[in-house]
Chains A and B, each alone.
Chain A
Amino acid sequence: MNGSVPGADHRAERGPVLRKGVGIPGSGWFDPRGRALGGFAFSANRVTGLGLVFYLYLHLGVLSMLLFGEPTWNDFIRLATSWVFLSLDVLLILGILYHGLNGIRVALVGSGLVADRQRALWWSLGTVGTIALIGAALHIFGSK
């Protein structure tokens, strides 16, 4: 036997590593394909978190209009009470409710206290959040 097994010369090389994701390094968490409930919850938590960070700076920018006095702010309020903006407010509340309630779930589960109830927590807190969101939406749209 002369030992020339196909590929033997390349035995020391590290082979390719399959990664879930969208082709960008570090995007594995974002890919919902093949995920169970917990993975989806984690991805959604991150998406809402990033959305809320964006909103934080948008909000600081908007509040800066207060520095320019009453007419400028009141002009903005007129814009902010349009149906489009009110819908965005409801979307904001959805993001806050999801991120906050899932955060409670992660804190409870992560402490080791109720780790085996993570699915039940997702559904129960999700129900609470849905009811709160419907109430908030009715209040906001109802005020128009």
Chain B
Amino acid sequence: MATTISGVALLLLLGVHMFANHFVVRSVGGLRSYRQVLEYMRHPAIFTIESLFLLVVTVHAMLGLRGVVLDVDPSRRAQRWIDVGLTVLGVLTLAYGYFLIGTLASRA
């Protein structure tokens, strides 16, 4: 259920992210220069959307990884460690991602 809900949210958030970073700026591949990235991150709405996108994509990725790993039929004990490991990985991913977002927004 959580995978489905995060997936549906991702359709919108990822759509905005991909469109903004590949189809808006007039450059090769739509890629943003350093200053364009900072200008992009300055907008409160963009900051919010990208923060939410990071959260949702990390949750979806961890749940997806969990689904794949469960198919090796781990023991109950191993499954608990897998859950702990993926939670830690998810938290670290979010921590670093928010550090990046926060740093870039503060430079804007």
A–B touching in complex (CB under 8 Å): yes
Contact check, B28 vs A60: say whether CB atoms are below 8 A apart.
Answer: no
Q: How large is the interface on A (under 10, 10 to 19, 20 to 34, 35 or more residues)?
A: 35 or more
Q: Given contacts A46-B68, A100-B14, A144-B28, are A89 and B22 in contact (CB under 8 A)?
A: yes
Q: Closest CB-CB distance, B90 to chain A, in whole Å?
A: 11
For A140, give its contact among B8, B30, B33, B68 (CB under 8 Å).
Answer: B30
Q: How large is the interface on B (under 10, 10 to 19, 20 to 34, 35 or more residues)?
A: 20 to 34
Q: Given contacts A56-B57, A60-B100, A67-B103, are A100 and B11 in contact (CB under 8 A)?
A: yes
Write out, one digit per residue, whether chain A residues 103-142 have a CB within 8 A of any chain B CB (1) or not (0). Answer: 1100100100000000000000000000000001001100
Chain A residues within 8 Å of B57, by CB: 56
Q: Closest CB-CB distance, A137 to chain B, in whole Å?
A: 11
Which of A3-11, A33-41, A47-55 is the contact stretch?
Answer: A47-55
Chain B residues within 8 Å of A16, by CB: none
CB under 8 Å from chain A, chain B span 73-108? 73, 93, 96-97, 100, 103-104
Q: How far is it, in angstroms, between the C-alpha of A139 and the C-alpha of B14 when the chains are bound?
A: 18
For B34, give its contact among A28, A29, A66 (CB under 8 Å).
Answer: A66
